[in-house]
Chains A and B, each alone.
Chain A
Amino acid sequence: GAVVSQHPSRVICKSGTSVKIECRSLDFQATTMFWYRQFPKQSLMLMATSNEGSKATYEQGVEKDKFLINHASLTLSTLTVTSAHPEDSSFYICSAWRGAYNEQFFGPGTRLTVL
């Protein structure tokens, strides 16, 4: 399968700070990437769809000013959690869509803890 990386894997920050998470597709170009959030023992919740060269599309209920997404190249999408608060603590996972096969490949996830 295709390889998707995420950085950092774990981050702890103070309330009010901003955190940037990077998602890279290492061996294929991804015109579309997705950002998910997952709470313990729950399913994946799609937050937004990131399209290279255009604005991200956010799911209902997701604050676009809080979760800034940039898809600047065909291999890199970033998620910035602005003014993070403890309730933003979660496991954030990105995926990259490999269009030729209509498959999504996931990164290893980023554990965000806001103190």
Chain B
Amino acid sequence: DAGVIQSPRHEVTEMGQEVTLRCKPISGHDYLFWYRQTMMRGLELLIYFNNNVPIDDSGMPEDRFSAKMPNASFSTLKIQPSEPRDSAVYFCASSLDLHRDRQYEQYFGPGTRLTVT
């Protein structure tokens, strides 16, 4: 398996522009997580999905952020409009069903480094 795939790996955009980050989870995984990593705040969970349904979006910072999972193999995180304080590394992670498979670890993608100027 190729692991969790994220694109793009790097994104540089100007303030006010729309940014879309993409993620392909590991095939067969039921859960998908979006995280943001910054020096100041460390690793923060933004939102997670179970079987394509958003379960907990309490970590989404504000209405400028939105996430979708139209099918089991694809998810997007969109920021509109982007601001310089959104600059961070955004990670996608996936995992199996936490109780059915008793496999609780999450597998992370390589991340997208976003810079908003």
Chains A and B bind each other: no
Interface residues of B (CB under 8 A from A): none
